[in-house]
């Protein structure tokens, strides 16, 4: 079974899946990694990658082990080891990118159970969420929303394409195959004009960033204008849960 390795409190789960749980777990992992705030300048001069530090490479290994299904080929990876336990060079860590494993871990531990498409690739759950919003399935606890129409709430995910997929938009989903992308978890919407998000493998760490939003909370350009095709946001993945979440920081 794909979840034989999952602890009972998450697999049963002991408490219903909730926005509060997603936010609390994402914040816990952010604190564990030293409360890193996105800073590209500081990141450029960092000599030791957090993902390779003692105590943290093991945590990344837990993201792989618990976040993915038991049969996934990446489950034995860590923040600096391949599946055979061999240390890989820091300069090729892009081949072992763990941002989707982090999202999968948070969703798994929050109690999403069999209703989240756990994956090493963000595109898998972005496409699955779009199929939910198209009415093609009700299997998942995420639904894709158009960024111009929906204001993300705590626990939701904001997603964009990377590299050649930077131009992909909501209307292009679902895609026939995978594409490079990234998603962050929204953890705070209490400050006017911005939301706080947390992502894994951002600056080789679990990192918090701020994202500009309009007065009514939709993703925006830095000057507060509603997004257009010049900007990279692809979609918001809305959690399908009933109860509101507390905005937390």
Provide mean pLDDT across the span 204-208. Answer: 97
Q: What is the mean pLDDT of residues 107-120?
A: 97
Q: What is the pLDDT of residues 132-164, one digit of tens each?
A: 999 999 999 999 999 999 999 999 999 999 999
* Token duo for residue 55: 């105590």
Q: Sign of the CA dihedral 4, 19, 179, 114?
A: positive
Question: Radius of gyration over alpha carbons of the chain, in Å?
Answer: 17
Q: What is the pLDDT averaged over residues 220-246?
A: 71
Percent of the chain clearing pLDDT 70 (strictly above): 93
pLDDT for 226: 59
DSSP letter for each residue of 116-131: S---SSHHHHHHHHHH
| Dist. CA 67–CA 61, nearest whole Å | 10
Q: How far is CA 180 from CA 103, 228, 235, in A?
A: 15, 20, 14
Task: Give Cα 73 distance to the centre of its chain.
Answer: 20
pLDDT in tens, 20-43: 999 999 999 999 999 999 988 888
Tell me the three-class secondary structure of 185-218, residue by residue. Answer: EEEECCCCCEEEEEEEEECCEEEEEEEEECCCCC
- DSSP type of residue 93: G
Q: Confidence band (pLDDT; 50, 70, 90) for 222?
A: low
Structural domain boundaries of the chain? 8-239
Q: Give me the percent of the chain exceeding a pLDDT of 90.
A: 86
Distances (CA, A) of 215 to 156, 225, 226: 18, 9, 10
| Rounded Cα distance, 200 and 194, in Å | 20
Residue 154's pLDDT is 98
CB-CB contact of 187 with 208 (8 Å) = yes
């Amino acid at each position: 079974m794909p979840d034989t390795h999952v602890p009972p409190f998450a697999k049963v789960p002991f408490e219903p899946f909730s926005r509060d749980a997603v936010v609390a777990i994402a914040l816990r992992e952010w604190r564990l990694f030293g409360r890193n705030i996105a800073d590209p300048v500081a990141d450029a001069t960092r000599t030791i990658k957090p993902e390779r530090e003692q105590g943290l490479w093991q945590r990344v290994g837990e993201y792989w082990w618990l976040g993915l299904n038991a049969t996934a080929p990446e489950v034995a990876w860590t923040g600096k080891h391949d599946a055979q336990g061999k240390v890989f060079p820091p300069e090729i860590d892009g081949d072992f990118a763990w941002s989707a494993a982090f999202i999968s871990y948070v969703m798994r531990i929050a109690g999403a159970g069999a209703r989240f498409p756990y994956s090493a690739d963000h595109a898998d759950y972005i496409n699955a969420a779009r199929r939910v919003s198209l009415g093609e399935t009700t299997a998942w606890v995420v639904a894709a929303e158009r960024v111009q129409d929906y204001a993300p709430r705590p626990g939701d995910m904001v997603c964009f394409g990377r590299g050649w997929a930077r131009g992909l938009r909501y209307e292009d989903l679902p895609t026939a195959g995978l594409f490079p992308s990234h998603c962050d978890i929204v953890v705070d919407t209490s400050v006017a004009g911005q939301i706080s998000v947390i992502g894994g493998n951002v600056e080789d760490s679990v990192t918090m960033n701020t994202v500009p939003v309009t007065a009514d909370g939709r993703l925006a350009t830095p000057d507060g204008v509603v997004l257009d095709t010049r900007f990279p946001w692809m979609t918001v993945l809305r959690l399908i849960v009933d109860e509101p979440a507390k905005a937390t920081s």
